[in-house]
A = this chain, B = another copy of it.
Amino acid sequence: MDMEGVDESFRVTPWEVEGVVDYERLVRLFGTELISDELMARLTSLAGDSNHMLRRRIFFSHRDLNLVLDDYSAGRGFYLYTGRGPSGPMHVGHIIPFYFTKWLQDRFNVNLYIQMTDDEKFLEESRGLTLEDTSRWSYENMLDIAAVGFNPDRTFIFRNTEYLGNMLPLVLKVARKINFSWVRAVFGFNEQTNIGMVFFPAIQIVPALFERRRCLIPAAIDQDPYWRIQRDIAEGLGFYKAAAIHSRFLMPLTGPTGKMSASQPESAVFLSDDPKTVRKKIWQAFSGGQPTVEQHRRLGGNPDADVAFQWLYYFFEEDDRKVEKLREDYRSGRCLSGEMKEILIEKVTSFLEEFSRRREEARDTLHLYTRDGGLAREMWERRHGLD
């Protein structure tokens, strides 16, 4: 196998997820660590608060999270970095990790950098996007992200096509350390890959070198290959190795294979879907139930394969007792597939209603994250890599 994250039965790269992902196996392939009970307890204790996505190991894997907590305890601090590839509308699977990121920012009161990789989404030829497309999606997606409600004085949201000038010296220092052979092995590039894509890893790596403190990256595990390279070169450039906390993927509405995709609208609930669409999509979602009510009552359903239950477990039902009762009731046949879906529809609909209200408000506050807030103003004054 010449590429990490690719197994006989599944494939996880920053550009595609295929098959049924075996997360324990992925941890071994990527060389990350599962979050132990002890580590979770320590994070929870320092945060002063528990988080259901952590308790349920939706964020399940990490690199150096223990060192991040050491740094925090010792007063050295840390910062957060994550991002979004603005290739189309965001769905709930895209936004949920940002809620976990907000939880981290609120609890630890740290800086957060959010990179919009509009350059890369243009460079990926197979998407066929123009720069006008990626520019429009950048703005729309930034509104979605701003709606999550980050600290406006400690959060900087930036588009690569706008901010690269400020990052360039550091991008060049990073690029000089990485050869074609390496990105070919890590990302599966080949001779036909365009030179923009070949160069891009340097641009995604740089925000993990924005501060001379440890950087913690909350993101889906498919982005981990970038952090592996960062970790190999960071210390040579006088920075800390990036730490990461990795999430699983939210199960697509179509079932346990692959990940949700904007090119398959029926696979996902988009943040802009109206209640009628939400109801229809969830109603049609893949179910872990039996063919008839009678059989379901008798044999019970499979919560592990039931999208509605999985979505409640992943994010939408925060209460552990309620979610475990749903699991048991479903397994025993007491709860029908339709009932599970109704519960999810109610949760998702009210989540989106609140979200869309906050998103409208974000039209007035977005500038704080991109230009005028405390951190944003600092960042536009900086040229990275010359200090």
Residues of A within 8 A of B (CB): 119, 122-123, 125, 131, 161-162, 164-166, 168-169, 172-173, 175-181, 183-184, 189-196, 198-199, 201-202, 385-386
- A182's closest neighbor in chain B, by CB? B195
Partner of A119, one of B172, B192, B193: B172
A339 CB, nearest partner CB in chain B, Å:
50
**25 A-B contacts, Cβ less than 8 Å apart?**
A119-B172, A122-B172, A122-B176, A125-B176, A131-B173, A131-B386, A162-B165, A165-B165, A165-B168, A172-B196, A175-B195, A176-B194, A178-B194, A178-B195, A179-B191, A179-B192, A180-B189, A180-B191, A181-B191, A181-B192, A195-B198, A195-B201, A195-B202, A196-B199, A198-B198
Whether B202 contacts A196 by the Cβ 8 Å rule is yes
Whether B193 and A179, one on each chain, are in contact in the complex, defined by CB atoms closer than 8 angstroms, is yes
Query: Whole-angstrom distance between the alpha carbons of A177 and B122 in the complex?
Result: 12
Q: Is the CB of B173 within 8 A of A195?
A: no
Contact of A180 with B193 at beta-carbon distance under 8 Å, contacts A119-B168, A119-B172, A173-B131 already known: yes
The contact of A172 among B161, B175, B179, B386, by CB within 8 Å, is B161
Q: A161-B169, A168-B119, A169-B161 are in contact. Are A199 and B175 (CB under 8 A)?
A: yes
Residue from B164, B175, B183, B196 in contact with A165 in the complex, judged by beta carbons closer than 8 Å:
B164
Are the CB atoms of B165 and A177 closer together than 8 Å?
no
Chain B proximity of A118: nearest CB distance (Å):
9
Give the chain B neighbours of A199 by CB distance below 8 A. Answer: 175, 195-196, 198-199
Q: Known interface pairs A131-B386, A164-B168, A165-B164. Does A194 touch B177 (Cβ–Cβ under 8 Å)? A: yes
Known: A131-B385, A385-B131, A386-B131. A195 touches B179 (CB 8 A): yes
Q: A123-B175, A172-B122, A172-B123 are in contact. Are A192 and B180 (CB under 8 A)?
A: yes
Which residues of the partner chain B approach A198 to less than 8 Å between Cβ atoms?
Answer: 180, 195, 198-199
* Bound: A203/B211 CA distance, A: 28
Find out whether the CB atom of B175 lies under 8 angstroms from the CB atom of A194. Answer: yes
Residues of B within 8 A of A166 (CB): 165
